[in-house]
Amino acid sequence: MFRQEWLWAVFCLPAAVGLLAPMCPRPRAILGAMLAGVFATAFCGFRLIGAVFMKGPVSAASEWLRLDALSAWHLAILLIVFLMSSLYAWVYFEEERRAGRLSLKSVRLFAGLWCGALSAMALVLISNNLAIMWVGIEATTLLTAFLICVHVTRESLEAMWKYILICSIGVAFAFMGTLLAAASAQGLEGGTRQALLWTRLLEGAAQLDPRLMKAAFLFLLVGYGTKAGLAPMHSWLPDAHSQAPAPVSAIFSGFMLNTALYCIIRYVPVVEAATGGSGWCLRLLAGFGVFSILVGAAFIVFQKDLKRLLAYCSVEHLGIITLGFGLGGFGIFAALFHTLNHSLCKTLSFFAAGRLGQWFGSHDMEKMKGSCRVSRVWGVGLFGSLLALIGVAPFALFMSELQILKAALDHGAIVSLVLFLAGAGVVFIGMLARAIPLMWGKTSDAVSPVRAQFLERLVVAVPLIVLLALGLWMPLPLRAAIEAAARIVDPGTAAVSSALLAGGAP
Amino acid sequence: MNTWIEIAMLALLLSDMALLGLSVLSTSIGVVAFQGVLLGGFALLAQHDVLSPRLLAIAVGTVVLKGGVYPYLLRRAIQEAGIRREIQPFVGYVPSVLAGVVMMGIAVWLGHSLPLRADLPLVVPASLMTLFTGLFLVTARKTALIQCLGYLVLENGIYTFGVAAVGEIPALVELGLLLDAFVAVLVMGIAIYRINREFDHIEADRLNVLKG
């Protein structure tokens, strides 16, 4: 019984804090209240996630809310990203306030929208009703729009406009897809009122009209794909990521993109069952994945701005994750593992870019050279996360990319394999060529060394250590959790062979 | 009943073509308001069951929001931004209308290949055509205001499709949808206001600092 209340709390708590926190009189109090709210939500969330992995799915509100292994896995990543980003936001905005770049009004706006965004993303993950899931995504878009221009400049307004318009249209397409899915389910027992529930849709998947379901998936893929930053619908992404304040870029890249991808993945088992297991939707996913990898790689080479570089890197990594899902079987396991690794790593790299950017006064990579001499902590954080992002062993991203390669090989998808390797190779060279001068280049004299606080050391050290540890050894409970999540996407996923799980027990 | 629905769908198609050919912003807003009222009536007609309070509430909500509130917000944005100029197309009006004819062809073809509402042959093509028109307005016109208008037209298309092809979806969901669209328009309105204040114009094609 009490588990149902936790489910409500994950969604309602941050919403309430988002409404109340801006009423505090001082900026520190507002940010403190926000931090407390995020911690409380995380506490409820992790209790719930533990319960789901031990005892099975939790549902409430006559099945409208439901948390199963797949959504619990994503919820865990969401909470980790938000916890880290909220701690970082505390440090980041402290500096902004000292520099007089942040008004009380902006802090209020930020705290309200930040908690609202957490609530909306949690709603996406816990809703079993596909229309409510859509409402959550739309709310995410609208709430995060003004987070981009916490600092009002011409560039940030431009980025915000592109973000609202392109994503609103994408989300409208996704709604068209949701409607088509509902239309294909009209023959099911209980009518459309029940059929929009994901569990019902999956039960009756064999009776769905395959033509309508295919049309629905096309709309959903393009619609949610826009929000997930899959190429060629990614054009809003580099602008929004580069203009938003660093904590916001971190949640955008660290989890918002994955939320949209999660929505697509929810439909995969239904469409697969409706089309008789033909692999049609998986091939589409793999195609979009490979294309995103290539587009991301091509643009990474020409970037001058660090945050834009990281944004294109997100396009590439979302492509890798999508490719993993598209390969099916072991690929799904690898994609889910890669989701965690990428979120941890990208969050850290945006933190470092933002913090260093505050001292250099720019995100231009020419001006940010020699970051190691300005701040050892953040220099190491940036360099370490960039190394992990390009797939250097023994970081966990290397392992999950290797697993996806293995899945492609098993699947006989040689073209995807070659294109993925080519894209990853270009990214490796392109980013390493930037990362080395960023770390050790000659610093301009205007910037003096800065000491990092304890909190900053913590935010840098924890993700790096976790990424290293996961690359060397995967704990059994983690492996079981990912396997449980993967089985929801593809029920046929057999227990994963331990050959490619570093240190995994047989 | 079906005759009325067909007439409403014809009116929707015609209003789409009008939007593609119109050059005056305030008239375009009027046409979109007309579409909103049309859709409210359509919501009443399209459901097979008798007049329920829920249906009535949705129809009234649609008319008030789509026919009244959004056009009002847009008109106010025009006044505040002090726009007197015309729509300023990337694609001229005649090519726009020609593109409309092509889109109509695609919409009819797609509508007939989807197995939905065979009793009302115009509904699915009209909703798809409205969706395409919205998309076209967003991409082929320059100012942020007309892009917002295009988004509304696109929403109208999806709404038509939802009401006609899907039938009954839970009231809470519909409420969420209406509310979402409302907030979307509000957010866009505030964005336009801020852009106007910062740039002294709202021409989206001049929002071009960020590249690559």
Over the stretch A253-306, which tens digit does the pLDDT of each residue have? 999 999 999 999 999 999 999 998 888 999 999 999 999 999 999 999 989 999
Closest CA of chain A from B198, distance in Å: 7
Confidence grade of residue A155 (pLDDT, cut at 50, 70, 90)? confident
Contact between A147 and B189 (Cβ < 8 Å): no
Report the alpha-carbon angle A236-A242-A246, nearest 5: 125
Backbone phi, psi, residue A14, to 5°: -65, -35
Rg of chain B (C-alpha set): 17
Contact yes or no for A260/A166 (Cβ under 8 A): no
List the structure tokens of A478: 């983690």
Closest approach of A411 to chain B, Cα-based (Å): 33
Domain boundaries, chain A: 1-128, 154-278, 287-506
pLDDT per residue as tens digits for the range B130-178: 999 999 988 888 777 888 888 889 988 888 888 777 766 665 566 666 6
Verify whether the Cβ–Cβ distance B114 to A211 is below 8 Å. yes
Contact list, B161 vs chain A (CB under 8 Å): 176, 179
Residue type, B111: G
For residue A99, the model assigns a pLDDT of: 86
Give the separation between CA A218 and CA B127, rounded to whole angstroms: 17
Q: Sort out which chain B residues have CB atoms less than 8 A from A220's CB and list them.
A: none
Least confident of A137-141, A337-341, B83-87: B83-87
Question: Which DSSP category does A67 fall into?
Answer: E
Q: What is the pLDDT of residue A505?
A: 38
- DSSP code for A23: G
Cβ–Cβ gap A196/B207 under 8 Å: no
**DSSP helix/strand/coil, A495:** coil
Confidence (pLDDT) at B179: 64
What pLDDT, on a 0 to 100 scale, did the predictor assign at position A2?
62
Q: Give the pLDDT mean for A406-422.
A: 93
Alpha-carbon radius of gyration of chain A: 22
Band the pLDDT of B86: cuts 50, 70, 90.
Answer: low
Q: Does A155 touch chain B (CB under 8 A)?
A: yes
- Which of B113, B180, B208 is nearest residue A135 as measured by Cβ atoms? B180
Chain B residues near residue A214 by CB distance under 8 angstroms: none
pLDDT of residue B170: 60
CA distance B187 to chain A (A): 7
Question: Chain B within 8 Å of A302 (Cβ-Cβ)?
Answer: yes
Does A461 contact B at CB distance below 8 Å?
no
Q: Which residues of A touch B208 (CB under 8 A)?
A: 158
A160 in contact with chain B, both atoms CB, cutoff 8 A: yes
Between the CA of residue A208 and those of A155, A186, A263, what are the distances in Å?
A: 47, 8, 19
**pTM of this prediction exceeds 0.90:** yes
Q: In the predicted model, what is the mean pLDDT of chain B?
A: 81
Q: What is the pLDDT of residue B172?
A: 55
Could you tell me if A338 and A404 are in contact, meaning their C-beta atoms sit under 8 angstroms apart? yes
**Residue A326 distance to chain B (closest CA, Å):** 26
| B184: contact with A, CB 8 A cutoff | yes
Counted across chains A and B, CB pairs separated by less than 8 A come out at 118
> Chain-wide mean pLDDT for chain A?
90
Average pLDDT over residues A73-100: 94
Q: Which of residues 34-93 of A touch B (CB under 8 A)?
A: none
**pLDDT for the residue B76:** 82
Nearest CA of chain B to the CA of A404: how many Å?
A: 29
Using the structure block, give the residue that is written with the tokens 């802090």.
Answer: A107
Q: Which two tokens stand for residue A238?
A: 């580099």
Asked if the C-beta of B154 comes within 8 angstroms of chain A's C-beta atoms, the answer is yes
Distance CA B96, CA B90 (A): 10
Over range A412-438, report the average pLDDT: 94
In this complex, do B191 and A196 lie within 8 Å of one another by their Cβ atoms?
no
What is the DSSP code (8-state) at residue A21? G
Q: Decide if pLDDT at B186 tops 90.
A: no
Q: What is the pLDDT of residues A204-218, one digit of tens each?
A: 888 888 888 999 999
Over residues A48-86, the pLDDT tens digits come to 999 999 998 999 888 889 999 999 999 999 999 999 999
A282 vs A428: CA distance, rounded Å: 27
At residue B16, the pLDDT reads: 94
- Paired tokens of B37: 């009222």
Distance from the Cα of B137 to chain A's closest Cα (Å) equals 12
Closest Cβ–Cβ partner in B131, B165, B204 for A183: B165
| Closest CA–CA distance from residue A81 to any residue of chain B (Å) | 26
CB A11 within 8 A of CB A123: yes
Closest among B56, B19, B5 to B152, alpha carbons compared: B19
Partner-chain contact B170 A196, CB within 8 Å: yes
Which of A157, A304, A364 is the best substitution to test chain B (most B C-beta atoms within 10 A)? A157
- Per-residue pLDDT tens for A12-32? 999 999 999 999 999 999 999
Task: List the single range of A144-148, A366-370, A494-498, B32-36 with lowest mean pLDDT.
Answer: A494-498
> At CA B149, angle to CA B147 and CA B153, rounded to 5?
115
Chain B closest CA to A173's CA: distance in Å?
8
Query: Are residues A179 and B165 in contact, defined by beta-carbon separation less than 8 angstroms?
Result: yes
Dihedral sign for Cα atoms in the order A403, A234, A347, A360:
positive
Query: Chain B window 83-142: which residues touch A at a Cβ cutoff of 8 Å?
Result: 113-116, 131, 135, 138
pLDDT in tens, A441-482: 887 766 778 888 899 999 999 999 999 999 999 999 999 999
Query: Are B107 and B125 spatial neighbours (Cβ–Cβ below 8 Å)?
Result: yes
B152 to chain A, any CB pair closer than 8 A? The answer is no
Residue A83 phi/psi, 5° resolution?
-60, -50
Residue by residue, DSSP assigns B58-70 as HHHHHIIIIIIIH
With 80 as the cut, is the pLDDT of residue B88 above it?
A: no
Separation CA B142–CA B146 (nearest Å)? 7
Q: Tell me which residue has tokens 């490796």.
A: A428
Return the amino acid letter for A503: G
Q: What's the CA gap between A244 and A354, in Å, rounded? A: 10
C-beta atoms of A149 and B194 within 8 A: yes
Whether residue A497 is predicted with pLDDT greater than 60 in this model: the reply is no
Residue A500 above 60 pLDDT?
A: no
- Residue pLDDT, tens place only, B45-59: 876 666 777 778 888
Partner B, chain A 335-364, Cβ-Cβ below 8 Å: none
